[in-house]
Chains A and B, each alone.
Chain A
Amino acid sequence: MRATAVSGLVFANANDKLLKKLTENRSMASVPFGSRYRLIDFSLSNLVNAGITNVGLITTGNYRSLMDHVSNGIYWDLDRKNGGLHILAPYMASDIRRFRGTVDALNAATDFIERCESDYIVLCAGDILANVDVSDVINTHIESQADITLVYHKGMLPVNRADAMVFTFGESTNIKNISFDYSNESEQYYGIGITVIARELLSKLVRDAVEKDLESFNRDILAKKVNELKIMGYEHKEFITLMNGTDTYYNAHMALLDSNVRKELFNPERPIYTKTRDDMPTRYGVEADVKNSLIGNGCVIDGVVKNSILARGVKVGKGAVVENCILMQETRVGTDAKISNVIADKNVTIGEDMVIKGTTEKRVFINKNEII
């Protein structure tokens, strides 16, 4: 396949409201995750690991932190002369309005879709926490001669996410029905937000939808055309979390403490790339006592850390105790401070002797840059 035979198109702002304070000043795609990543790293890496070198990133709002993170795409090898990363930011026009749904977003990406000259396009949500073999999805799509291939996972449906699709299959993996009924509380086959489609078909579907003033690509197009088009499913069997609230966010972190989850999510055959920071390795002091924790580079640990995720550059002072916490970049925990069940956003300072105790039912969230 030629280098530009497949292009990627990533939606950065889907589900922005679900993580509350974490997405107050950033898009869902740029929410920090797993000590050194942002959620977008997984989708960008999945695309790049499939050999895709031309990627459009659709953003609508709140994207300063996202721009800061993705830069010119260099960390994903997307700083290219041909193709590379294209930021599809909204521009001032007479009919400016916020996107009502995916159709508006895709319409805003018309130029990218028309000009990219690829045979296929992979549509991808910017907040899929999974390591997906997109190359295999594309090959399966081509072999099955499907019009559209949707990647799905079997499990408990992550509720509250916009336009989450529940599938019923006909013959083999042919999708027979797409439903938006979330009342069933058992395991289901649900779409994870990756779609492979021929570029010309996408272009046509979007044009038609715009003419008819439709809003949702999933609801108004896919679900309606399920019998008209050949829509196939591709199962992603490995670890996945689709964020739909702070509990899933916290639980997905704790899942990383399981080595099997790490093996799937950080599969060395398909590495997850992220912005580099040039930190030195983490220093464990003489009195450090670290158990069952995931830790980024650049930390200095002199206290106790248990069942926690520490991002890059976190400092834990002598006598301090950190338990069941997620501490983001540059959090400083002062001498003899005791914190548990805390999620601290970037650059938080917790003073000496401070005691902050959340519970599993009610975790304490500390805003970015706060000094306590």
Chain B
Amino acid sequence: MLLAGGQGSRLGVLTSKIAKPAVPYGGKYRIIDFPLSNCANSGIDTVGILTQYKPLELNDYVGSGKPWDLDRSDGGVHILPPYQGLSGEGWYKGTANAIYQNLEFIARYDPEYVVILSGDHIYKMDYSKMVNQHIKDGAACTIAVLDVSLEEATRFGIMNTHEDGTIYEFEEKPAKPKSTLASMGIYVFSWDKLKYYLTEDEANPDSSNDFGKNIIPAMLNAGELLKVYRFNDYWKDVGTVDSLWEANLDLLNPKIDLNLSDRNWKVYSRSNSQPPQYVSGDAKVENSLVTDGCEIYGNLDYSVLFENVTVEEGASVEYSLVMPGAVIKKGAKVRYSIIAENVVVDENADIGGDPAVVGTEGWGITVVGENLTIGKNAKVSANKMITENVKEGEEI
């Protein structure tokens, strides 16, 4: 069960029209490709995708599930939007309530175990190993955790455990963390336990119907066996502009092990048929990731270019993400920015700022929302979120 209804409000203009799991990543992917590919590669072939916020693009993208081999006659991928009913069904009130409202869906497949995932993270993980550990432990619930630094631990839900990995306490964003095992938002439940605790939780009018805040503490209070599953590979929450930018540039870092074309664990995506990329005689392309359909006549450094991006002569793109269909016209400069889909950056416009030049105080990534035009010679400084067209020569 993949929770994909989140707005991702901290991504600002990037999620004003699409749900967070549909946000483009890594040149040709969407965030949801990661949990979906993980499911397919882990042998999970029945997946419910719970949608709520701005689902159009996400529904369209997932479609029949074919790109992930999840178009099955038995099982396969199912989009599960909120629905009306006679007993108070309606908008999903929280993560637990979203699953509660779909207990009938799960029951149809009569599973023994249910994996709960979120559509917000970049990682490659074999869920079957986690399920196997869950079975071996005989746990009611197993929670995937990542060992983070003590400083980071204050920003996560933290699992306090005994030496054998049994959880005795859960603390949401503790000021003084007792442990550094952060929840990744990935749960394996035994089906009967999940059903029982979701039903109990729903009957409690004071509950905020959230897995972390309500279900896990309730299970701990009742003395259920909860275990952690340790994960040591690359994992990144892309909930903020900075983390989304960073997670993309991580693909260019040779020290980070995130190979997306690993034959044994491919990350699948829905791909459009685009011609190969062209790099001209005057272009300079270094340390970048470039996708089919791009035409490069300018300079690229430390950047990720999504499908069908054009960078004209004399334009330069540095430390930036340029999403599908965007055009960077002659002489324009883009640095430390995220340029969303189909944006036109007109001639000699100048976007974003280099922290080494403008100073780190108040510095941040500049984001330009989809379909916007940045006029000729316009200047947009660092740390701006652009939601409207910028006129010729305007300075922001």
A residues neighboring B (CB under 8 Å): 34-36, 74-75, 257, 259, 262, 265-266, 271-274, 276, 278-298, 309, 313
Contacts and interface: CB of A to CB of B under 8 A. Distances in A.
Contacts of A293: 278-279
B29 to A, nearest CB: 8
A287 B287 CA distance: 8
Given A278-B261, A281-B291, A284-B288, A297 B280 contact: no
Contact of A281 (B26, B266, B278): B26
B279 A290 contact: yes
B316 interface: no
Contacts of A273: 273
A98 to B, nearest CB: 34
B273 A274 contact: yes
A286 B253 CA distance: 11
A271 B272 CA distance: 9
Interface in B238-286: 251-252, 259-261, 266-269, 271-281, 283-286
Closest 4 CB pairs of A and B: A281-B27, A35-B276, A280-B260, A266-B275
B26 A285 contact: no
A294 B277 contact: yes
Contacts of B67: 276, 278
B333 interface: no
Nearest to A75: B273
21 contacts: A35-B276, A36-B292, A259-B295, A265-B275, A271-B273, A271-B274, A274-B273, A278-B269, A280-B26, A280-B259, A280-B261, A281-B305, A283-B251, A285-B286, A288-B287, A291-B279, A291-B283, A292-B280, A293-B279, A294-B278, A296-B292
A284 B286 CA distance: 6
A276 B271 contact: yes
A283 B286 contact: no
A276 B67 CA distance: 10
Nearest to A297: B292
B329 interface: no
Nearest to B68: A278
B105 to A, nearest CB: 27
Given A278-B261, A278-B266, A297-B292, A284 B285 contact: yes
Contacts of B274: 271
A282 B278 contact: no
A257 B281 CA distance: 10
B261 A286 contact: no
Contacts of B275: 34, 36, 262, 265-266, 272
A295 B276 contact: yes
Contacts of B289: 280-284
Given A278-B261, A280-B27, A292-B280, 16 more contacts: A259-B295, A276-B67, A279-B261, A281-B27, A281-B289, A281-B291, A284-B286, A285-B286, A287-B286, A288-B287, A290-B285, A291-B280, A295-B277, A295-B279, A295-B290, A297-B277
Contacts of A271: 272-274
Given A272-B273, A283-B289, A298 B261 contact: yes
Contacts of A280: 26-28, 251, 259-261, 267, 289
With a 10 A CB-CB cut-off, give which of A75, A295, A298 has the most chain B CB atoms.
A295
Interface in B313-356: none
A283 B289 CA distance: 5
A297 B267 CA distance: 14
Contacts of B28: 280-281, 297
